Amino acid sequence: MSERSTKDSQHSTAGAYVHPGEEFTRDTAYIEDRIVRDPARAQLPEGARAWPVEAGRYRLVAARACPWANRTLIVRRLLGLEDAVSVGLPGPVHDARSWTFDLDPGGKDPVLGIERLQQAYFARFPDYPRGITVPAVVEIATGQVVTNDFPRITEDFAKEWTEHHREGAPDLWPAALEEEMRQVMHHVYTEVNNGVYRCGFAGSQQAYEKAYARLWAALDGLEERLATRRYLMGEHITEADVRLFTTLVRFDPVYHGHFKCSRHKLTEMPNLWAYARDLFQTPGFGDTVDFEQIKQHYYVVHEDINPSQIVPAGPALENWLDPHGRESLGGSPFGEGTAPGPVPEAERVAPAHTPLPA
């Protein structure tokens, strides 16, 4: 892992920083260790380590505010991994050093016993030079970070943790669709998930306008794709939908204004808006979303974009429960599977933070 400037390291916990005159480029050098069913046969990048799947051994640290972490919360819930992989929930804001467990009694994670996620990173890598990012998986016994490679975490949850899936868990990675699905997810990541950041953290007018055009070309394409299919890959939910949803659910509260992605609101894109509501109203999606924490994170942490740190009161959110009408396209959320059960009491989003019923 290469060294970074102090300025970069201090701001990389947010995953981004404005560099005047430059286009935004995300640092994608993550800890590439994996947790797998058979470590001896795991295919790993050079220098990476394979860890064994073992219920109760690991803790997922995932701030609700972060879209990349929100993915892991959704997949964990859809697959029913709550009992196998516990979860730590940092608060929505952080300082230059780290995400903190300020929502927990005494400001410490009750399982790991730490105040800052940074402590888990430093327990394994004392000179860790990069940002302290979520999501991260931590080995409970040693308190050491295992991985923060967020796309691999969710893929391995789906493929390597199958013996711990709930009965009726959906197939989020159908083999017959995987090749096309990887192409779709790559497009969603580069053009939309990362595209909103490319707009928000552009360091020049030229960089911003280029990023803006690129983002809206992708959103227009997805609007067209979703006109004839209920979900990105067809009739059932896959991980591709999880990856798009976490950006869409943040679009009007944050990205439209804060990141200047303002050609249209999500509510003005008929197919994308109906699709997003369809997912939001599906167990496992909207019940992981905390709009209040989302807004606090972006508007407070990104002082370079919002120096006043004022958090907007809007937009109204009750419309997320409006009928979506996507049933007319056929299909069903879980295919041959079933919906997850109720959210564990300790993991429920406070009703005041979301329009979902209590």
List residues with catalytic annotation: 66, 197
Q: How far apart are CA 78 and CA 57, in angstroms?
A: 20
Quick one: CA dihedral 319, 320, 321, 323, positive or negative? positive
Residue 63 Ramachandran class (φ > 0 left, ψ -120 to 50 alpha, else beta): beta
| Cis ω before 67 (30° cut-off from 0) | no
Distance CA 136, CA 178 (A): 25
Sign of CA dihedral 188, 240, 275, 329: positive
In sequence order, which ranges of 164-311 are alpha helices (DSSP H)?
178-188, 195-200, 205-225, 239-250, 256-258, 270-280, 291-301
Instruction: Give CA–CA dist 191/212, Å, rounded.
Output: 10
- How far, in Å, CA of 286 to CA of 346, rounded? 16
Write out the two tokens for 310. Answer: 């004022």
Does 173 count as an annotated binding residue? no
**Tokens representing residue 343 in the block:** 């959210």
User: How do 58-61 and 144-147 pair as beta strands?
Assistant: unpaired
- For residue 141, CA distances in Å to 108, 112, 270, 274 come to 16, 8, 49, 44
Contact 144/138 with Cβ under 8 angstroms? yes
Query: Binding site membership for glutathione: which residues?
Result: 99
